[in-house]
Structure 1
Amino acid sequence: MPLDKACVRKYVNEALLEDAAFDDITSRTFIPQDAKVRAQIVAKEDGVVCGVTIACEVFKVFDSRTTIKIRKKDGQIVRRGDIVLEACGMARSVLSCERVALNFMSYLSGISTQTRYAVKLAGPKGIQILDTRKTTPTLRYFEKYAVLSGGGRNHRLNLSDQYLVKENHLYVISRTSDPEVFSSRKNKAIFEIEVQSLEELKRFLSCGPDIIMLDNFSPSDIRKAVALLKGIFPDKDKRPLIEISGGVNLKNIAKYAIAGVDFISLGALTHSAPALDMSLDITKVYS
């Protein structure tokens, strides 16, 4: 999912306005108007970098005269002390953009780093790591991009992307109609059903889901579900894919990385990833 430049520019402008970067009274009062600087953004801990292209746009939107040299691209591993990018331009411009550029990069790099760790734990079993819609309002586009940069895969971007029948949907359907309603699907979007038990799994297989989400299943019940589906569908190509969700985190993911599972979805990738520490350092001043 390459970043759309118009979208990036829109959010960069909003972030700069939020920070009143164009009215930075400290820089405008105390920094000479003609002073120029060279600066570098440095990783202060190991991780997977993301948001470099967005940070570049921050500097360029604010002052098109600023020149940027990218040292690390989105998705690349950084070690403590690595230079991620260099910026050369007017001192006032660089200083006014510093926090916005760092906020984007630190936040998104934290998501990419956490995703890469989950992929490392589950990947050897052939399991793909998915994000969820548990995202920051208005920032989902960037957060899901960060998951991709970390080696994960995007679940649906929004409610129009695929059918996902969850517990509350099933509760309403059970009191207003019956499972036959699922045959009313009008497009070829992926059809996924969330189940809470092995009994529900058996019951809803007849609805023809492309994916079965095992919600809050224990590892032992996941193994039973995998065996059940293999028995019913000897032909793997006709078998619904299996997604694990609920109760999984980076501390226990290894227990859920069970052969036969296709996906593990983790809301924690986007709703609680710690930011990756970065700093902007001025390395030279030109008078």
Structure 2
Amino acid sequence: MTAFTLEGFDLAQFLRATLDEDLGTGLPGGGHDVTAESVIPAEARFSGVMDSRVAAVVAGLPIAAEFFRLLDPAMEIAILAEEGEDVRPGTALMRLTGNARALLTAERSALNIVQHLTGIATLTRDYVRAMGEARCTLLDTRKTIPGLRHLEKYATRMGGAQNHRMGLWDAAMIKDNHILVAGSVGEAVRRAREAGVSRIICEVDRIEQIEPALAAGANHILLDNMDPAQLRAAVEVIGGRAATEASGGVTLETIGAIAASGVDYVSVGRLTQSAPAADIGLDFTPL
């Protein structure tokens, strides 16, 4: 099985840090699972099945598997669902057989990551479906839990979204405070262009800001907190000279009309900021 990798994400470090946090590694009396060690014989073996108790879009199973393998390299693991797959309630996602202590110690870390990422992927798929037939792409944002951005943005991809910029480094996003300091929309964009930035996203909240942004060299216009009628007017003004993105207060109830306005993208912070954890469990049987 090919190891799970994400560009810019250190999986081994994440696994070790997560387990160390749960085990209290480095703290007085920490560094072990007192319950498993005191109750479960060292040689005991379990089998287990991880399953989804709800309809969901799966994400994070390969990461969960690595938690178990870290504590028991001989663990027998079968992943039964594809990443990004829609599953029904009661669907088995993973079967495991191995050392009982290792299974119990890794259980919460593994479930936490699958529940969290599957929750994000599921909410993302809901938003994609609510967009209907509009020729528009759903984007995530930088509203992520510190340290989990790569994983959360991976989960939005599993749900059918496309990643916005990954951080502060891969595009300039000029917002109201940048404009305030620069003095105007045009001046802020001009400074980014003269600095050699190739991808310049400029946020506007009024139609009259669009032309100065385009004239200065913006190639992506973020239309902030505009209703569908305003979005249609803005798209007409831009006329294909830059990519268009609607953002701000987008909900499942409003995204359909927003996507139908003609914008190229709709960005939604809720995908990572407010997704509820999916109800996924793991039941063991002694061998």
User: What displacement does 1:23 show?
Assistant: 1.1
CA contact (8 A) 1:9 1:61 kept: no
Amino acid at match of 1:25: V
1:285 is matched with: 286
1:276 corresponds to: 278
1:40 paired with 2:43, answer no
Superposition deviation, residue 178 in structure 1: 3.1
C-alpha separation in 2, matches of 1:148 and 1:58: 22
Q: Secondary structure at the match of 1:164?
A: strand
Paired residue total: 277
Kindly state the Cα deviation for residue 77 of structure 1 after the two structures are TM-superposed.
1.0
1:266 maps to which residue?
A: 268
The equivalences for 1:58-69 within 5 A come to 58-69=67-78
User: For residues 123-272 of structure 1, what are the structure 2 equivalents within 5 Å?
Assistant: 124-174=133-183, 178-179=187-188, 180-188=190-198, 190-230=199-239, 236=240, 239-272=241-274
- Structure 1 6/127 Cα, relative in aligned 2: closer, same or farther at 3 Å? closer
Is the alpha carbon distance of 1:24 and 1:5 closer, same or farther for their aligned partners in structure 2, counting shifts above 3 Å? Answer: farther
1-structure distance, mates of 2:250, 2:67: 36
Distance 1:243 1:4 in 2: 26
User: Alpha carbons of 1:54 and 1:178: their partners in 2 closer, same or farther (altered >3 Å)?
Assistant: same
CA contact (8 A) 1:214 1:245 kept: yes
Match of 1:19 in 2: 22
Inter-partner Cα distance in structure 1 for 2:191 and 2:283? 60
Deviations 1:123-151 (A, max 9, x none): 52111111111110111011011011111
Is contact 2:187-2:216 (8 Å) kept?
A: no
Identity of aligned residues (%): 36
Compute the displacement of 1:182 (Å).
Answer: 3.9
Cα distance in 1 between the residues matched to 2:230 and 2:165: 26
Q: Provide the rounded CA distance (Å) in 2 between the counterparts of 1:206 and 1:2.
A: 41
CA deviations 1:140-167 (Å, max 9, x no partner) are 0110110111111101111110111111
Query: TM-score if structure 2 supplies the norm length?
Result: 0.91
1:112 paired residue number: 121
Q: CA RMSD in A?
A: 2.0
Compute the TM-score of the two structures, normalised by the length of structure 1.
0.91
| Structure 1 segments unaligned to the other structure (5+ residues) | 231-235
Given that 1:191 and 1:211 are in contact with CA atoms closer than 8 Å, whether structure 2 keeps it comes out as yes
Letter in 2 for 1:48: V
CA positional deviation for 1:198: 0.6
Rounded Cα–Cα distance in structure 2 between residues aligned with 1:114 and 1:122: 13
Distance 1:26 1:205 in 2: 62
Rounded to whole Å, the distance in 2 between the matches of 1:64 and 1:182 is 50
Task: State the Cα distance separating 1:5 from its structure 2 match.
Answer: 9.9
Q: 1:259 to 1:220 in 2, by over 3 A?
A: closer
1:102 shift after superposition: 0.3
